[in-house]
Amino acid sequence: MKRFIFVLLLCLPSLLGVVQAADSQPNILHIHTDDHRPDGLQSLGNRQLVTPNLDEIARRGMVFTNCYTMGSMVGAVCEPSRAMLLTGRSWLRIPGGSDAATNASDPATFLPRVLGAAGYQTFHMGKTGNGFQKGTREFEINVVDDARGKTPKDDRAHCPERLATRTIEFLETREGRNETRPFYAYLAPPVPHDPRTAEPEFHELYHSDEIKLSPAFLPLHPFNNGEMTVRDERLAPWPRTPEDTKRQNAEYYACITGLDHHVGRIFDKLKASGEWENTIVIFSGDNGLSLGDHGLFGKQNLYEFGGMHVPLVVAGPGISPGINDSLLYLMDLFPTFVELAGAALPSGVEGKSIVPILHGEQTQVRDTLYTAYRKCQRSVRDDRWKLIRYPLIDRTQLFDLSKDPLELNDLAGEPEYATKMAEMTAKLEAEMEYFGDTAPLTVDNPKPAEWSPPAAKKPAPKAAK
């Protein structure tokens, strides 16, 4: 008996450590929106937007100004983006990717299962179309809402309202059952993706004639980037007009403000229940959107205010507030959540935890970042310089982001930047090799760079009476 008590006393500190670790596991609330530009909150730089609730998160947390989804092999950029988020793997190594490992499709390696094994109750509500359904099916509670209902309350305009109501019900059910497990809630509404409809009171906040266009607005993109007539680009007339562009931006802003309003309801619930102080809140987007910049309207491009650059804000206990300009990928959130939860990191994860940045222990996790779109566009950037390569037309762009964040001044043709061009091209080749990207940067018989929009279709003749 004495020996048993002695052994128990020896083990007690480690046992207490396990209990304390379990008690200290934070809730994780991740709001991951659809087609959200990196400046898509007032606190992120767009002074025209009304977003008080998400701005509160930005004020009390860390704002990451250089977060990206890595790339896409399809026009629906959100599909591989969400797969990278929930697997922690790079774009060609996600399930079904051209360089995927044998265990890439193992559900036990997906984020909801990994956090579930660490004691988390997992909850998802949001889109499935063009998402990562293999991953969302692994949530303990999976609520599908693609905003395709047949009644007014089921439509896209009320999607943020439904999101908040169902999430609050989830939180109240936990209270009713005295649930002691921490939660991981992944909220993925299909907004502000088109069709951009919000509740009327949010549309009333924005008037087209008062919207200010970006200095990067152009009627037409100056050359063929390899994906000029994809679906997203057909949502606006050619040439782009200031009037139509302002209207589309106004609708986009209304959707963001509507979402912000209802996200505030979730925050209020967490505060009232006492969970707020133990909840890490993450706001991010799956991909960006052009909305008139450079004459483009979609996310099938590699400009900073285009397809791959996304917002990222993280706030919660132990996180230092401030602005961080380090280079990140969305897949870095996978090991970050795993570390915050005290979970076990599965093999094959390529993302890098940003917990040391969140805790003020270091300032960056990588010094180079590469993005890609199909076989027609490749890009690499560091803390100042960015190169975009268009292999199919043998064209390259070079931008000094420190002086030209909107990428208005292409330096590729200037002789004094030839050395920088070679340096950045070498960086791009190295990143492509590291991430298993075998697409060529030069092709035989490149196509002409010149491009003209397709002729507008004539309306069908009226039927004879």
Residue 11's pLDDT is what? 43
The angle formed by the CA atoms of residues 143, 107 and 351, to the nearest 5 degrees, is 95
Asked if 257 contacts 49 with a C-beta cutoff of 8 angstroms, the reply is yes
Residue 363's pLDDT is 92
- Distances in Å between the Cα of 142 and the Cα atoms of 72, 124, 172 are 25, 5, 16
Q: What's the rounded Cα separation, in Å, for the pair 260 and 281?
A: 14
What Å distances lie between residue 283 and 58, 121, 173, CA to CA?
A: 9, 20, 24
Could you check whether the bond before residue 192 is cis, i.e. omega within 30 degrees of 0? yes
For position 10, what pLDDT does the model report?
A: 39
Q: What is the pLDDT of residue 230?
A: 97
Rounded CA-CA distance 32/22 in Å is: 26
Q: Give the model's pLDDT for residue 144.
A: 87
pTM score, whole prediction: 0.92
Please state, in angstroms and as integers, the Cα–Cα distance from residue 162 to each residue in 156, 159, 196, 386, following that order. Answer: 10, 5, 16, 41
**Of all helices (H) and strands (E), which one includes residue 54?**
helix 52-60
Q: Is 294 left (phi over 0), alpha (psi -120 to 50) or beta?
A: left
Tokens standing for residue 103:
């265990």
Specify the DSSP element, H or E, that contains 399: strand 395-400
pLDDT at 18: 35
Q: How far is residue 439's CA from residue 446's CA, in Å, rounded to a whole number?
A: 14
Joined together, the tokens standing for residue 43 give 């606190």
CA distance 4 to 53: 55
Q: What phi and psi, each to the nearest 5 degrees, are found at residue 250?
A: -60, -45
- Inter-CA distances, 241 with 35, 112, 295, Å: 21, 44, 9
- Where are the domain boundaries for CATH 3.40.720.10 in the chain? 26-364
**Burial label, 309 (beta-carbon count in 10 A; 0-12, 13-18, 19+):** buried
Strands 62-68 and 328-329: parallel
pLDDT of res. 382: 98
- Positions of the chain with pLDDT under 50: 1-22, 463-465
pLDDT of residue 12: 40
- What architecture is domain 26-364? 3-Layer(aba) Sandwich (3.40)
